[in-house]
Amino acid sequence: MSDFEGRCLCGAVRFSITPPTLFFAHCHCNYCREAHGAAFVSWVGAEAERFRYQPGSREPRWHQSSEQSRRGFCDSCGTTMFFASTLCPGEIHVTRTSIGGPIDREPQCHVFYDQQAAWIKLGDDLPRYTSDEPGLKKYKSVRKPESQVSPPK
């Protein structure tokens, strides 16, 4: 299979990924929902060495969304496209919607399902993993930076 190519809404940030990818999962965590303004975010994981920006692409702008993690977005159109974290070194997570065309795998699961938006009802039969899933344990340490914590009311 050839490289997967992707882009932001306006096309300023363009990238490619050489397969194989690491996973394709739907994340329901509060961070993803807030960052994307969506009920959940579909992520494709890739080894960082298999990811590259296309010639002429703009670099995304990065927001430090937690002490360990950051999210990359196009500073022209605002498309949030990337997630990188010290919790998963050597990986970059890319929104599936940013990749045009098919990839090397179908969706595999829902993660942080216990944090799902109450107003969403899923119709698929994919496995659903909660925050207590051993494979998600490393993400429990994620905390918002002090500057982003809302003061008590």
Q: The CATH number of the domain where 37 resides is what?
A: 2.170.150.70
**Within a domain: residue 93?**
yes
**Within a domain: residue 101?**
yes
What's the predicted TM-score (pTM) here? 0.88
Q: What pLDDT was estimated at residue 144?
A: 53
**pLDDT tens-digit readout, 56-104:** 999 999 999 889 999 999 999 999 999 999 999 999 999 999 999 999 9
**Within a domain: residue 140?**
no
**Within a domain: residue 142?**
no
List the domain range (segments joined by +) for residue 33: 4-117+124-133
Number of helices followed by number of strands (H, E) in the chain: 1, 11
pLDDT at 135 over 70: yes
Q: Which of 5-14, 99-108, 131-140 has the lowest mean pLDDT?
A: 131-140
Q: What pLDDT was estimated at residue 134?
A: 85
As a whole number of angstroms, the distance between CA 56 and CA 70 comes to 23
**Within a domain: residue 144?**
no
**Within a domain: residue 148?**
no
Confidence of residue 1 (pLDDT cuts 50, 70, 90): confident
**Within a domain: residue 151?**
no
> What's at 137, amino acid-wise?
K
* Tally of structural domains, the chain: 1
* pLDDT, the chain, mean: 91
